[in-house]
Amino acid sequence: MDRQAKHIGLALGVTLVAGAAVIAVPDPVVLPALGLLPLLLVFAFRNPFVLCLLFICFSFFRIHEAFMVLNPLHIPQMLAIGTLTVLGTQVLFRRMQIAWTPELKLFAIFFAMITFGCVVASGRDVALGYWTDTFVKIALMVFAIASLARRPQDFALASRAFVISGMLIAAVAIYNHALGLEEVEGTRVTVGRSTGSVLGDPNDLSLVLLFPLSFAMSLVLTRGTPLFGRVLGLLGAATIAVAILDTQSRGGLLGMVAVCAVFAAQRIKSKALLISIGVVGVMGLFAVAGISGRSSGGAAESGLVDESSEGRLRAWGAAWRMALARPLTGVGLNCYVSNYYFYQDWWEGFAKAVHSTWFAALAESGFLGFGVFMTMVVRTVSSSVRSVRALSPTATGARYEPAAFGMAQSVMAGMAGFVVCGSFLTQAFTWPLYILLSLAVAIGRYMEATSPGAQDTNRAA
């Protein structure tokens, strides 16, 4: 009882401080929200995992940038303060045990290397700015999700939260495409491009939409999923797929194929049939998306290598030269674009993104960081595969939980989409990989805790 009183007192104290700060902003939308803040903080202290999910959904999916009416509420900032306060309190009062697995050790090493690389980066202000704004938040959430997600109910909640968030962004994208709003190159849809949103690039938008696709498909295809979950998954998969098609991102389309291939491989035993379906599916998606009609990378560009592909090859060459020039630390976090001019072999009048997760990691963290990064990716994939096998309905000795098995499938399919899509889109230091890593750790810990050997040990104790 005393501990709960401390939590409530701390929540009220934080509320008063936050209220005094926000009252200074003369915005009529912000002030009514303060009335709900105490209750929300008390709820957050009792349900820290829910707060972490909300923080991830707003930080990764940029919901407040898609729905501008939410901007005056400063939701990401409020969630950041609340998350830090709640997690700090959980650790202080020892109500949260920090997970520490081989995958998390690799991430901790990689995070330390990236942090040191920011200090010695070629553009220190740029590197430290991205580290403060994004990467340190990612690191916090990796350990929070891996430590707090322990029950099938947590996995079910996370899956539904990601699908709903993806549907919200997809709905805005479809609306924009239908009305010809926020488009680039005349046909490629974006979200919030006119307001400078992260979703204002069609490739980045397809990346954000691809992440929840695996969770939506898992809800549909996992045996034992409740009816509400199946309906949500079906609506989510359809909405998200249409929105990805509207971005006309080749990397996004290939990522869709990879996600679908993972679920298909578990259900289609004939490899020849699976490959045939995959080839037809790729051709069909590219035709439906209208890739040939794109201004860049479409049928209007002749030659074996179109202008878009040639630009990617040049960008990858620049990344390679950056790594050779600074093999131990790379040019620094988020410093590829600012260094592009000095390492390119053909200046086109503007700097460009690297358009590859692997080359981004290589250029911005050096050969050492790239080695740790690749090891981390491999460990996450292998961990998700083990979890799928151990938690499947056909596994012996363990009680089947649809939510746990569905999460394991989602992570495995999500990693497949990441590996394929990541070869063409820049996502080495953005949210998707690290959310999947934390969920892979969480589902792995659940698998070990519910294994027959662990249950026998608990009974003996």
pLDDT 10s digits, 197-213: 889 989 889 989 999 99
Q: What is the mean pLDDT of the chain?
A: 84
- pLDDT computed for residue 303 by the predictor: 45
Question: Is the model's pLDDT at 300 over the cut of 50?
Answer: no
Identify the residue with better confidence: 405 or 196.
405
Residue type, 268: I
Question: Is the model's pLDDT at 196 over the cut of 90?
Answer: no
- pLDDT computed for residue 356 by the predictor: 92
CA gap 340, 48 in Å, rounded = 42
- pLDDT computed for residue 221 by the predictor: 93
Identify the residue with better confidence: 388 or 80.
388
Across 65-74, 187-196, 293-302, the highest mean pLDDT is recorded for 187-196
When mean pLDDT is compared across 297-306, 372-381, 399-408, the lowest value belongs to: 297-306
In this prediction, residue 301 has a pLDDT band, given cuts at 50, 70 and 90, of: very low
CB atoms within 10 A of CB 313: 11
Question: Is the model's pLDDT at 313 over the cut of 50?
Answer: yes
CA gap 249, 294 in Å, rounded = 10
CA gap 18, 38 in Å, rounded = 10
Percentage above 70 pLDDT, the chain: 82
Identify the residue with better confidence: 154 or 12.
154
CA gap 448, 458 in Å, rounded = 12
In this prediction, residue 39 has a pLDDT band, given cuts at 50, 70 and 90, of: low
CA gap 209, 354 in Å, rounded = 20
- pLDDT computed for residue 4 by the predictor: 58
Question: Is the model's pLDDT at 145 over the cut of 80?
Answer: yes
**Of 425, 376, 439, which Cα lies nearest the Cα of 113?**
376
- pLDDT computed for residue 352 by the predictor: 78
CA gap 245, 282 in Å, rounded = 12
CA gap 424, 309 in Å, rounded = 10
Q: 337: helix, coil or strand?
A: helix
Residue type, 227: L
Locate tokens 């938008």: which residue? 205
- What is the DSSP secondary-structure string of 184-204? ETTTEE-SSGGGT-GGGSHHH
Tens of pLDDT, residues 352-381: 789 899 999 999 999 999 999 999 999 999
Question: Is the model's pLDDT at 386 over the cut of 90?
Answer: yes
- pLDDT computed for residue 365 by the predictor: 95
Question: Is the model's pLDDT at 190 over the cut of 60?
Answer: yes
Phi, psi (rounded to 5 degrees) for 402: -55, -40
- pLDDT computed for residue 302 by the predictor: 45
Question: Is the model's pLDDT at 449 over the cut of 90?
Answer: no
